[in-house]
């Protein structure tokens, strides 16, 4: 009887060991799958962010080439568009990789240089044109 009990104990120990091994393998597989999914999502998010940035960078490069020919009205429109797009990208930039952040800083520097050239050529251009009718105010 003792021998049967020992065999049962050894059998249960082996079964428990195999069960534990199978569970840990399953857990490892699930964990690896979750890690792979997360990495894929992060890669896709980085690719999307980079595409958004690349589109904006192309827009900046195209417009900064016009610093010698842009009119005041065109410049106001471009500056408004730049500020809108810049604020959108600033919100997203905390999730970017280091390379994209450096490129972003270079793009902002290019735009700043463009603004300086345009303002040097056209003078200080305000966002709002104020047309004041001085005579009407004096007649009151």
How many Cβ atoms are within 10 Å of 85's Cβ, its own excluded?
Answer: 15
Count other Cβ atoms within 10 Å, centred on residue 73.
10
Residue-level pLDDT at 108: 93
pLDDT at residue number 21 = 67
The per-residue pLDDT for 23 is 66
85 contacts 96 by C-beta, under 8 angstroms: no
* H-assigned helices in 65-133: 72-92, 98-122
**Looking at residue 22, what is its pLDDT?**
65
pLDDT at 47: 76
pLDDT tens, position by position, for the chain (140 residues)? 676 777 678 877 787 776 666 666 677 777 778 777 877 777 777 777 778 888 989 999 998 888 888 888 999 999 999 999 999 988 888 878 888 889 999 999 999 999 999 888 888 777 544 444 445 455 55
Our CA angle for 132, 135, 140, nearest 5°, is 105
The pTM score is 0.60
């Amino acid at each position: 009887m003792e021998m049967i009990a020992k065999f049962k104990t050894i059998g249960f120990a082996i079964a428990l060991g195999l069960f534990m091994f199978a569970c840990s393998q399953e857990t490892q597989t699930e964990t690896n799958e979750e890690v792979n999914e997360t990495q894929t999502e992060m890669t896709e998010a980085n690719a999307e962010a980079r595409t958004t940035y690349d589109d904006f960078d192309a827009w900046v490069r195209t417009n900064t080439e016009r610093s010698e020919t842009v009119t005041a009205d065109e410049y106001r429109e471009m500056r408004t568009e730049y500020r809108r797009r810049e604020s959108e990208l600033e919100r997203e930039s905390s999730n970017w990789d280091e390379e994209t952040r450096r490129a972003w800083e270079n793009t902002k520097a290019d735009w700043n240089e463009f603004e300086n050239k345009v303002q040097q050529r056209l003078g200080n251009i305000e966002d709002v044109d104020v047309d004041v009718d001085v005579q009407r105010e004096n007649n009151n």
